[in-house]
Amino acid sequence: MTYPAKYPTLNETNLTPEARAILQRIIRTAFPHPDFPDAAYERMTDRIVTEADASTWFRVVLTQGLIALGAQSEEPFLELSDERALAVLRRVSDLEFFGFIRRTTVLNLYDDPQVWEVLGYEGPSFDKGGYLNRGFDDLDWLPTPRIEAPEGYVPDTGPLPYPVSRPGQRPAAGAPGAGGSEATAGNADSAPDRDAAAGPAAARAAGPAPDSGTGAQAPRQHGGGGAA
């Protein structure tokens, strides 16, 4: 939202040196990192100012918000302790100017190469050929991996404590499903042969089928014998 026609003086609103100092103190208080260099917070301040310059609305909101921040305490914001400064920011956390500062900082502060160095991040790896051959596992802040298993540790992988038979292989004696003894296994192996031999013998004993036209039905078909 802009007001260039009705309020042309708003386009000339700029941050004073004191307002920039307050802005930098807000960033440092809201994102406290003792190891971060001052230059990273200064660049973040410049980034917010640049983002605000691209929009008249955000420039006015930011400027007026920084001015109103001084009314939140009896002392100037730059003279407050870290605890009291944080308490003031919590009271204005729902205001639009603080939301603009917060989201811009989140997206840009941790994208600073100096911040990467402090955090131990080596930056993008694609243009350097990846991390595989560049020490991807040399992060000294990770705990040292355990080499030896503690006493009593039982791994969840490894050989089974009993033999496993394969398809077509006779189970070993004493193994699950072995059937007890070699004699039992031998009888089990001969069962298919006995069934095959018993099949033709049973068929001969039963005689021909009723509709076959042979054997016992032959005399009736020729009209013979005492049936007449």
Burial of 11-35, coded b for 16+ CB within 10 Å and e otherwise, reads: eeeebeeebbebbbbbbbbbbeeee
Please choose, from the candidates 16, 206, 13, the residue with its C-alpha nearest in 3D space to the C-alpha of residue 4. Answer: 13
Q: How far apart are CA 168 and CA 109, in angstroms?
A: 68
- Looking at residue 76, its amino acid is P
pLDDT at residue number 206:
55
Structure pTM? 0.54
Query: Going residue by residue through the chain (228 aa), what tens digit of pLDDT does each one get?
Result: 333 444 444 444 567 888 899 999 999 999 999 999 999 999 999 999 999 888 888 888 898 888 888 788 888 999 999 999 999 999 999 999 999 999 999 999 999 999 999 998 878 877 777 777 776 666 677 677 777 777 777 666 666 667 777 777 676 665 555 554 444 444 444 555 555 555 555 555 555 555 544 444 444 444 444 444
Q: What number of CA atoms fall less than 13 Å from residue 172's CA on the CB side? A: 6
Query: What's 154's DSSP letter?
Result: -
> What phi, psi does 60 have (nearest 5°)?
-65, -45
3 state SS of 18: helix
Q: Decide: 41 and 24 in contact? Cβ < 8 Å.
A: yes
pLDDT at residue number 87:
93
CA angle 182, 185, 191 (to 5 degrees): 145
Query: What's 44's DSSP letter?
Result: H
Structure tokens, 189: 């192996």
Q: How far apart are CA 7 and CA 59, in angstroms?
A: 14
CA angle 222, 226, 228 (to 5 degrees): 65
Q: How far apart are CA 66 and CA 149, in angstroms?
A: 59
Q: Which residues contact 66 (CB under 8 A, 6 or more apart)?
A: 15, 19, 22, 23, 97
pLDDT at residue number 9:
47
